[in-house]
Amino acid sequence: MSARPWWQSAALYQIYPWSFQDSDGDGIGDLRGIENRLDYLVELGVDAIWLSPIFPSPMADFGYDVADYCGIDPRFGTLADFDSLLASAHSRGLKLLLDFVPNHSSDQHPWFVESRASRDNPKRDWYIWQDAAPDGGPPNNWISDFGGSAWTWDATTGQYYYHAFLKEQPDLNWRNPAVRAAMLDVLRFWFARGVDGFRIDVLWHIVKHAGFPDNPPNPDWDPATGEMNRVFQLHSTDQPEVHDIAADMRAIADAFGREGDDRVLIGEIYLPVERLMRYYGLAGEGVHLPFNFQLIDAPWNARGLARMIADYEAALPPGGWPNWVLGNHDRPRSATKRGRAQARVAAMLLLTLRGTPTLYYGDELGMENGHIPPERVRDPRELREPGLGLGRDPVRTPMPWDDSAQGGFTTGEPWLPLGGDWPRRNVAAELEDPASMLALHHALLRLRRMTPALARGSIRLIEADGDVLAYEREQDGERLVVALNLGSAPAPVTLPPGVALLSTLPGPPSDADPTLLRPDEGLILKVDTDA
């Protein structure tokens, strides 16, 4: 394995296949559409793409209910289409990652069809079945992440089965060695086909407490946050046995890796930092990158962010490589959460912190949450807990490519409506505007690729006051300072002598005053090492 794997200096780009590019007019994005847009991604400057699930599925949860782990859903194309996409990506120097969904399958997966057929079926123990409580109700108080009990009664066999999400998504029993072997073979199947890695869905969920005790109630539960938060998921997630499974996955990834061509595993894990770090493994035998989601929900406060960055860096185990995320297919878009001006500052933060950044499709345009009329809602979470603002449809709206009908996404009716400002905020328009969010991302990614200090260098926080967050990146004597004004007023800052390379505000960076950040400005300065 290479001493510095490719993913340490890479910028990743998440594609939600439903919404990226439709090639056949059915209103749903597909693999051929993605292949047709690869040159855009190369020009953008990302290094790898991650596809949300593309496997055969009834789509109760838009592909996170998998009915066949080794196929392609016809909505997206065929295995031949996938092979073509993979080859085209590789020919352009792009890596390709898939979404692995190991916690649960579809209730229409042949394994579950067999499992629920009878109590003595050979695959009965491939899923989690329990007798009713003495009162006939669910075995315990565990709650689905989508609200309601996480247990569903099966009248045919007279037991409950467990599902952390929808009842159409029964959880696999990873304590069964046969399940473990079958799912690890899925990784081998796709690695052998040439994929470069996986994002592992809800990795911290996949093992449950063997005794199924009640989860402790949350005394501070706010119903507005969703019913899942009514209890602490102490026994239904983050069990010690999960780390042995992660080690098995890591061994497979490492076995398929070659010098200069490592495979990577990225774990979706929503846990506090001190528990997140365990997923690196005690000696690097865990996933390569346990996703760090802190920026998504962090209060937009300079002093708080500085403490968060310092604490995260200090918590990393020896050899652990950091990573950062601003948004994804489940969470509000950065431009909606922070406003358009600060979304530019946030983009500079994401792409200049030490570690591997992941961009969510459309964030490079400054896409905001879309408006979804009630009759167009598709997300089961919104349908199950309406009115709480937990629905994910608004962050999954189609990518606008130009100002033609349906934004160039499809020639048909898009599966979700486009965002309201797509005639002005689209790829073609922003490519023509040197002050656009897309132009800023081009510049940031170009600078990151050309500058070892940004790609792999060390980080040192610089003491600052008020709304200013500042830090230095250094590699082999090359020093860059990043100074970010998280406020809407001018902010004084003390920076070393140097040359301004890039500002988030329009105009040449040489116009920036290194002693005073303008409102909503982020600045990258190359330090004069001779001064």
Half-sphere exposure of residue 68: CA atoms within 13 angstroms, side-chain side: 10
pLDDT at 1 over 60: no
Place 258 in a pLDDT band, splitting at 50, 70 and 90.
confident
What number is the average pLDDT over the span 338-358? 98
| Alpha-carbon torsion (233, 234, 238, 244), positive or negative | negative
Residue 122 dihedral angles phi and psi, to the nearest 5°: -55, -25
- Which two tokens mark 234? 């102490």
Distance separating alpha carbons of residues 72 and 350, to the nearest angstrom = 32
User: Could you give the 3-state DSSP secondary structure of residue 171?
Assistant: strand
Tell me the sheet residues that pair with 5.
none
What number is the average pLDDT over the span 427-443? 97
Distance separating alpha carbons of residues 207 and 265, to the nearest angstrom = 18
Place 352 in a pLDDT band, splitting at 50, 70 and 90.
very high
Predicted TM-score (pTM) of the model is 0.97
Domains of the chain and any CATH numbers: 6-105+176-443 (3.20.20.80), 110-162 (3.90.400.10), 457-527 (2.60.40.1180)
Distance separating alpha carbons of residues 14 and 266, to the nearest angstrom = 12
Active site residues: 201, 268
Say which DSSP state 457 is in.
Answer: -
pLDDT attached to residue 365: 98
- At which residue do the structure tokens 């937009």 appear? 300
Distance separating alpha carbons of residues 290 and 317, to the nearest angstrom = 12
Spatial strand order in the sheet of 289-290 = 289-290, 264-267, 197-200, 95-100, 48-51, 12-15, 356-360, 323-325
Among residues 296, 295, 421, the alpha carbon closest in space to that of 365 is found at 421
Higher pLDDT, 4 or 455: 455
> In this predicted model, what pLDDT tens digit does every residue of 486-529 receive, in sequence order?
999 999 998 888 899 999 998 766 555 667 899 999 999 999 87
Residue 122 CB coordination number (10 Å): 11
> In this predicted model, what pLDDT tens digit does every residue of 161-184 receive, in sequence order?
999 999 999 999 999 999 999 999
Distance separating alpha carbons of residues 51 and 511, to the nearest angstrom = 40
Residue 134 CB coordination number (10 Å): 6
Spatial strand order in the sheet of 159-162 = 129-130, 159-162, 151-154
CB 500 within 8 A of CB 467: no
CA 24 to chain CA centroid, nearest Å: 27
- Which two tokens mark 300? 């937009």
> In this predicted model, what pLDDT tens digit does every residue of 362-414 receive, in sequence order?
999 999 999 999 999 999 999 999 988 899 999 999 999 999 999 999 999 99
Residue 508 CB coordination number (10 Å): 9
Q: Which residues contact 80 (CB under 8 A, 6 or more apart)?
A: none
Percent of the chain with pLDDT over 70: 98
